[in-house]
Structure 1
Amino acid sequence: MTTLADPVPGGRPGDVERATALGGELAGRGVHGVVLAYVDTAGIGRVKTVPTAKLATAAAWGVGMSPVFDTFLADDSVVTTDVLGSPDGDLRLYPDLDHLVVLSGQPGWAWAPVDRITQEGERHPGCSRTFLRRIVADAERRHGLTFKAAVEVEWSVGRGTAPEGTFEPAVSGPAYGAARQVELSDCAADLLAALAAQGVDVEQFHPEYAAGQFEVSVGAADPVAAADRSVLVRQTVRAVAQRHGLRVSFAPAVLGRGVGNGGHVHLSAWRDGSNLHSGGACRYGMTAEAESFAAGLLTHLPALTAVTAPSPASYLRLRPSQWAGVFAVWGRETREAAVRVVTGTRGLRDRAANLEVKPVDLAANPYLALGCLIAAGLDGTTSSASLPEEITGDPARFGAAEAAARGVRRLPVSLAEAVAEFRGDEVVRAALGPVLADAVVAVRQGEVAAVDGLDDEQVAAAYRWRY
């Protein structure tokens, strides 16, 4: 389980002693450095590293990092809010020792996610991992609910020898095809071995639809661990591919047209060890709380897209009839719905039933995405929101009048539209708090301005190798 206690100057009880022992163990295994990892508001993974011998010092006193990164854009330019984006100040990065792993894909290195606190020892209001920990802890304390989550990881594999800035698929086999799996066989086997060595529970690995595209699905965990795992999996995919002379992109759209890379979120709510999405008296075995949780997601999805689809390139992916979930509707096993009700196979439903949220990609900060999704769902349960009519098939088939009559709403078609929805959603903004909410708006507006006047292919190229 994830450590939910906040870091403190001098280290939490037992952390320094544990880090000292870990440092010696890591050194004995040939590990020379530890990657301290977090994700910024733009969804970019940022790191500092320390020699293995300094792990105990990092556990006690943290490692310095400027708060300016909370308002970095994907291209590394900086925007500002009233409290973020200046050259002033410092934060301390504290590794979560519970989630430290030796990187099999990067020999000589270990990895740990971090929480960020101020030099005064207080929570940094812009720390997305701390935000998610708070949401999870508050849900259990106030509602008696816990959650399980998993983030699907899709990526495009390109040739490392392609001209700078371009994408050439490294495999040529058909979508979901055996030929494509064979073409990437050695790299894929090394990837699965690395993930297993790192303790990542892989459920599936397979070729996907788009050119050079693959997907790995991992087992569910508590939301903070699930977000950590999403970051770790991408670090591992990138490292293993590079050792095979390949280059990978997790960008929402590698090309201006066609199917993009998703980061679908699977989420289930639990009370006292029972899955609320199974064994209930409502539709498809859901409990009344599970239906209301899904209704909360649907209500807030237009605003949530500013968090779950945060790049201008996200909207090249979010197109109808591409299984991207661009309509705020739900359906059982309906892959065109934004919220897919997954009941699981008979005999496994008490463990497997969950909700899949589809308008999510890997430009999203997974901590922000999961925290906001949970907050939206909880708003539904608190108000006992009613889940509307189920929509099956492709909602794009409805004309405007029928769509309106059925309550079928198209999600934002641009990042600018998503930001406008976000600004008007008090629930999502309140969950984030004013510092993080303002950072989301500033960074998204900065990304919109950065691509002003670019066509679809140019937008895809601008973000192709940023994620």
Structure 2
Amino acid sequence: MDSANLTARGVLAVAVTFVDNAGVTRVKAVPVSMLANAVANGVGNSPSFDRFVFDDSITGGPVGDLRLKPDVSKLTVLAAQPGWAWAPGVRYDQEGNVHPGDSRGLLVRVVGQLAEQGLSARAAFEIEWCVSKGEGDEFVPACSGPAYGMTRLTELGGYLHDVLGALATQGVHVEQIHPEYAAGQFEISVAHQDPVTAADHLVLVRETIRAVTINHGLRASFAPKVVAGGVGNGCHVHLSLWREGENLMGGGDGTFGLTAEATSFIGGILSRLPALLAIGAPSVPSYQRLIPSHWAGAFQAWGLENREAALRFITAGSPNLEIKCFDGSANPYLALAGVLVAGNAGITEGAMLPEPVDVDPAALEDSVPLPNHLAAAVEAFTADLALITTFGPELVDAITSVRKNEIELLSVLSPEEIVARSRWSY
């Protein structure tokens, strides 16, 4: 879409976003008249953004510069923010190479590595968020109906109508929307896409929800925990593996119809879940959400339609894997890159799957719990050769630096204080 068309549609500026290693979506914006220059030359962007923590403290120095370039093939006029358009960005170094710390660039590269093996993936996110009244820092549920109750939809029907309308105008295919368990909580599911588009859509959907929420005089949080002791916000990943137009998660001779490649792919993810939590459940409050018997997937287990297993296998419709232990503080590009690397490593290793679990894993004596604190996940991540080799030393160092800084920052706080500090960062 050229500048003249954007101007004709009333667009004055384009927001170019990137997601940092703390999972916060950051932005640089350019007037429409400067869009062509931004595409060609980029917008200045400090590499220190790699080391931003959720509270905007910085673990790195001020020296250096990158160029943030919008991917205009994904440019979208924003329905809930008149005068604005959006495009995801990729950061480049001064020589024109993709910055090794750029998470979207990493995901593009990982998808390319799969393609070299004749494989592709389809992915989608289930996005949970909580809606609060007013502008204060406390969370006050914006509706009072029961969990999953029609009452909640009735109370906020106009708000949800506007969310759906904005997303439809922007070309995002919504599959379902409904009230969730926690007070003031809702969930929206969007259609499967290629992994890069899926991650782009997660950013677009969240910021669209945020804009509509503000327009209604409300406040939205996608944080893993909004109220200490309550049910948190997940950000579940749905994933399927394909070769030559065939879904490898169905039609095979393995358990539940899995093919051999899909079995090893899931096996690679399952075995690496502790390490993957460092990028899929990457914040200190993530581990207040990741507790047994809360449908959060707190055990290193898989099962058919088992909502307590970290990996829920689904056969209805197009067979796919749901990763339940990830949450809204994750950078979606890092999260998808990580699971694809883990799955691909599983194929290389010929990984096998244990027996599926058909009960709540908490009821079994031999169930293996996932890490219950961020430091354990970071330790597992830095010990996993497949992940750190593909991510590269610069990105691995930045990720671990941000995680360790957050751990230290929040180490002396109570669960209630941790939630209060992080509630509105996501």
Could you state the TM-score of these two structures normalised by the residue count of structure 2?
Answer: 0.99
The equivalent position to 1:94 in structure 2, one of 65, 69, 78, is 69
Please tell me the residue identity of whatever aligns with 2:58.
V
Structure-1 residue corresponding to 2:107: 132
Structure-2 residue corresponding to 1:157: 131
Q: CA deviation at 1:160?
A: 1.5
Structure-2 residue corresponding to 1:433: 392
The equivalent position to 1:415 in structure 2, one of 363, 374, 394, is 374
- May I ask how many residue pairs the two structures share in their alignment? 426
The equivalent position to 2:311 in structure 1, one of 327, 339, 343, is 339
CA distance in 1, matches of 2:368, 2:267: 13
CA distance in 2, matches of 1:392, 1:70: 41
Q: CA deviation at 1:422?
A: 1.3
Q: CA deviation at 1:98?
A: 1.1
Q: Deviations over 1:153-194 (max 9, x none)?
A: 100000025xx3200000000010000001111111011000
Whether 1:456 aligns to 2:411 is no
CA distance in 2, matches of 1:459, 1:430: 32
CA distance in 2, matches of 1:165, 1:245: 14
Please tell me the residue identity of whatever aligns with 1:237.
I
Q: Deviations over 1:376-410 (max 9, x none)?
A: 011111111111111111111123xxx1xxxx311
CA distance in 2, matches of 1:120, 1:412: 40
The DSSP-based 3-state class of the residue aligned with 2:40 is helix
Structure-2 residue corresponding to 1:46: 26
Structure-2 residue corresponding to 1:27: 7
CA distance in 1, matches of 2:358, 2:2: 52
The equivalent position to 2:145 in structure 1, one of 166, 173, 189, is 173
Q: CA deviation at 1:428?
A: 1.3
CA distance in 2, matches of 1:414, 1:375: 23
Q: CA deviation at 1:199?
A: 0.5
- Within 5 A, what are the aligned runs for 1:12-411? 22-79=2-59, 85-141=60-116, 143-161=117-135, 164-344=136-316, 348=317, 352-399=318-365, 403=366, 408-411=367-370
Q: CA deviation at 1:440?
A: 1.1
The answer to whether the 8 A contact 1:372-1:431 is kept is: no
Structure 2 gap segments, 5+ residues each: none
Whether 1:442 aligns to 2:414 is no
CA distance in 2, matches of 1:118, 1:429: 21
The DSSP-based 3-state class of the residue aligned with 2:235 is coil
The DSSP-based 3-state class of the residue aligned with 1:152 is strand
The answer to whether the 8 A contact 1:39-1:45 is kept is: yes
Runs of 4+ aligned residues of structure 1 deviating over 6 Å after TM superposition are none
CA distance in 1, matches of 2:233, 2:245: 33
Q: CA deviation at 1:258?
A: 1.7
CA distance in 2, matches of 1:59, 1:423: 35
Question: Sequence identity, in percent?
Answer: 53
Q: CA deviation at 1:453?
A: 1.1
CA distance in 2, matches of 1:298, 1:196: 35
Q: Deviations over 1:111-132 (max 9, x none)?
A: 0001110111112000000000
Q: CA deviation at 1:70?
A: 0.4
The answer to whether the 8 A contact 1:35-1:50 is kept is: yes
CA distance in 1, matches of 2:319, 2:418: 37
Kindly report the root-mean-square deviation, in angstroms, between the aligned alpha carbons of the 2 structures.
0.8
The DSSP-based 3-state class of the residue aligned with 1:264 is strand
CA distance in 2, matches of 1:308, 1:152: 13
The DSSP-based 3-state class of the residue aligned with 1:280 is coil
The DSSP-based 3-state class of the residue aligned with 2:272 is helix
Please tell me the residue identity of whatever aligns with 1:117.
Y
Q: CA deviation at 1:52?
A: 0.8
The DSSP-based 3-state class of the residue aligned with 2:231 is coil
The answer to whether the 8 A contact 1:187-1:240 is kept is: yes
Q: Deviations over 1:359-381 (max 9, x none)?
A: 10110000000000000011111
Please tell me the residue identity of whatever aligns with 1:316.
Q
CA distance in 2, matches of 1:383, 1:49: 44
Structure 1 gap segments, 5+ residues each: 1-20, 80-84
CA distance in 2, matches of 1:339, 1:98: 33
CA distance in 2, matches of 1:194, 1:435: 38
CA distance in 2, matches of 1:99, 1:300: 32
Please tell me the residue identity of whatever aligns with 1:139.
L
Please tell me the residue identity of whatever aligns with 1:306.
A
CA distance in 2, matches of 1:236, 1:22: 23
